[in-house]
Amino acid sequence: MAIGVALFSSLLVLSFVSPISSLSSNYYDKTCPNAELIVANAVKNAAMKDKTVPAALLRMHFHDCFIRGCDASVLLNSKGSNKVEKDGPPNVSLHSFFVIDNTKKELEASCPGVVSCADILALAARDSVVLSGGPTWDVPKGRKDGRTSKASETTQLPAPLFNISQLQQSFSQRGLSMEDLVALSGGHTLGFSHCSSFAGRIRNFNTTHDIDPSMHPSLAASLRGVCPSKNRPKNAGTTMDPSSTTFDNTYYRLILQGKGLFSSDQALLAVPKTKDLVEKFAGSHKEFTDAFVKSMIKMSSITGGGEVRKDCRVVN
């Protein structure tokens, strides 16, 4: 989900976050009844022009929720010396913020000061999954937008090089279980990764192996071609799986073949609990999508914030 080494100094941050929320599915029924339709249309229109938009919005929502809860802090712009989350190393590759901006403008015209940026992002993530052929679900609403965003806190995002114990700790600190970890990792079925997120697996892995022995040799050879050690193109990388614009369970089948892209993907086979879940989701698309929906609702209900921004890039 992220790039870079994560540190677990999150107790302070978690004091700003409440896993118990007063969200409801009918939150805007009276105050902004067309809110969901406006978001869905904006995401659809953007995705028609750029097929990478759905993966970008889903990743953006993950990265928002893992720091200070789902409070749209990832959307804020830096001001002066205050560097915000979107400028932290794991987030510099986030994109498609314009989709949220355009949606917010439409919502402000329709029902000013009502729909939070955090809710827009949660709805956009759901709509992105649906547009990619994945499941739909009823998104609980009523999140508020945060006023604090710090680039330094992005070190707490789960990183591609994490082992299973680091992943478990990162998720459990946010009230998320091992099943949530495996189900939400399935979001990696969408999108693209730059070489930097897996370069350590394909060259100079350790003193014994040049290539990570848990990686299938054919994948390693392919990635070494895509990511040369010298004269590498700036945006070199590869899709997360061959069906990178389709929400499916290919991700789990690849892990079982030793073809997970990140160390954190392949790490899901390290202990019986998560390995069993990988095998279950690889064998059943329905088992995966049912678990993914349940975990997405759980993650997106980690709340923070206290206002409804007029502009998603700046606090009121």
| Measured distance CA(264)–CA(281) in Å, rounded | 17
The residue to which tokens 């790039």 are assigned: 3
Q: Is 248 labeled as ligand-binding?
A: yes
| Measured distance CA(104)–CA(94) in Å, rounded | 18
Q: Is 188 labeled as ligand-binding?
A: yes
**Known catalytic residue at 63:** yes
Q: Which of 61, 63, 209, 285 is catalytic?
A: 63
Nearest to 276 by CA among 210, 182, 196, 203: 182
- Cβ–Cβ < 8 Å for 36, 115: no
3-state DSSP helix/strand/coil percent for the chain, to nearest 5? 50, 5, 45
- Cβ–Cβ < 8 Å for 192, 236: no
Q: Is 241 labeled as ligand-binding?
A: yes
Q: Is 158 labeled as ligand-binding?
A: yes
Q: Is 69 labeled as ligand-binding?
A: yes
| Measured distance CA(208)–CA(63) in Å, rounded | 34
| Measured distance CA(67)–CA(74) in Å, rounded | 8
Tokens, residue 311: 């502009």
Q: Is 71 labeled as ligand-binding?
A: yes
| Measured distance CA(213)–CA(193) in Å, rounded | 20
Tokens, residue 142: 């009523």
**Residues carrying an active site annotation:** 63
**Known binding positions for Ca(2+):** 64, 69, 71, 73, 85, 189, 241, 248
**Known binding positions:** 64, 69, 71, 73, 85, 158, 188-189, 241, 248
**Known binding positions for heme b:** 188
